[in-house]
Amino acid sequence: MTDRLYYDDSYLARFTARVTERLAYESAPAVILDRSAFYPTGGGQPCDMGTLNGIPVIDVIARESDAAVIHVLAEPLDSDQVEAEIDWLRRFDHMQQHTGQHLLTAACVQVAEAKTIGFHLSLDTLTIDLDRPDLPDSTLAEAETLANRIIQEDRAVTARLRDLDDQEGVRMRRLPRHLLTEGLRVVEIDGFDVTACGGTHVARAGAIGLLKIVKTEKHRGKTRLEFLCGGRALRDYQAKHRAIARLAADLDCRYSETPELVAKLRADLKAAQSALKAAREQLVEFEADRLLAGADRARGWALIQAAYENRDAAELKLLASRLTAGPGVIALIGSAGDKCQMVFARSADLPQDMGALLREIATSRGGRGGGQPNFAQGGGMSATLDALSTALSDAAAHL
């Protein structure tokens, strides 16, 4: 079994050790050392990274059978003596997040009798799952404030080994078997919490700096809290401050006024959009009346051909519907451009098949489309205004 140096000193980032075994782990070279400060993946937390004699350690795993720590390497290691170095920034980040988790877990119990039933730490997220789905935001804010008070009081955090049966006052959780062979490893935040744990922790709560809950999800009888500690909380504050400061400058208001102002702008936009929609509809009505007045009625029904530029499909459809609402009208309209749009429509009392006609006109020009006998749309090909006019005349000749 590897002597795990981080049990006694979480701050140990460099150490020397001796190789006791060489192996292949998932076809990568790997070694086991007589002693190691590398934390292996486990307990909801990713492993440490670093180097052995300058060779990158790409994964660290605890072997089930004997709890040996397997260091998976980027390339083979020849020497039996190693100078090891842990990626300290990564380790310290994990220490801040993980010790913060002890704090928030204990604070949720103290404030609301809510027990932690899950913990997950990755490179960008830190969550705990509480066994209650009914915690109001104010209660969670109270737990967050309590955790930060312990941080500000800079309480000592100590790890030590107790007798296995000395479990009184210890928050127990599932521990790997090897942790229980030599005794019960506990982590104590002075006067606040004692938890059985084999992880890496800061020495004083003050090193966590700040703890902030950033997201709450309630589902399936539990509450998932996503939170940030230390450097992660600071970076989050910096990013949010930049975003809100820019928003407030753009809106020319104090940052505290931005939510109200944005809500007002959204309401204004909605009102402007519906006013614009009403005005457009009215404009289309006038346009339809004008087109109907000038329609070609040589064949006993009214033929309307109209080619436009820069009109969206919705507006063309609205115009076509309006034109063919009454009896005896066929409307062939479109908008030219890189992706030209065409809408062919006819009144209910006429027999011509607009779907077939549009498909033929569009496909013969490299576009596509189709629809019902009374209403069809399509296009998609590039067409100038002249080319579109020619296409519409071609369609009219097929009628």
Among 47, 146, 179, 197, binds Zn ion (CB under 5 A): 197
CB of 184 to Zn ion, least distance (A): 13
98 or 232, CB closer to Zn ion?
A: 98
201 or 346, CB closer to Zn ion?
A: 201
Sign of the dihedral through C-alpha 307, 312, 313, 314: negative
Among 40, 50, 100, 199, binds Zn ion (CB under 5 A): 199
- Strand ranges across the sheet with 193-196: 157-162, 184-189, 193-196
Two tokens, residue 357: 């006609």
CB of 22 to Zn ion, least distance (A): 31
229 or 342, CB closer to Zn ion?
A: 229
What separation in angstroms does the CA of 300 have from each of 60, 294, 330, 357? Answer: 85, 14, 11, 20
Q: Does 208 bind Zn ion (CB under 5 A)?
A: no
Interface with Zn ion by CB under 5 A: which range of 197-205, 212-220, 278-286, 382-390? 197-205
100 or 199, CB closer to Zn ion?
A: 199
Write the binding mask 157 to 196 for Zn ion: x where contact by CB under 5 A, - elsewhere.
----------------------------------------
CB of 260 to Zn ion, least distance (A): 43
57 or 194, CB closer to Zn ion?
A: 194
197 or 320, CB closer to Zn ion?
A: 197
Two tokens, residue 352: 């011509």
- Contact footprint for Zn ion (CB under 5 A): 197, 199
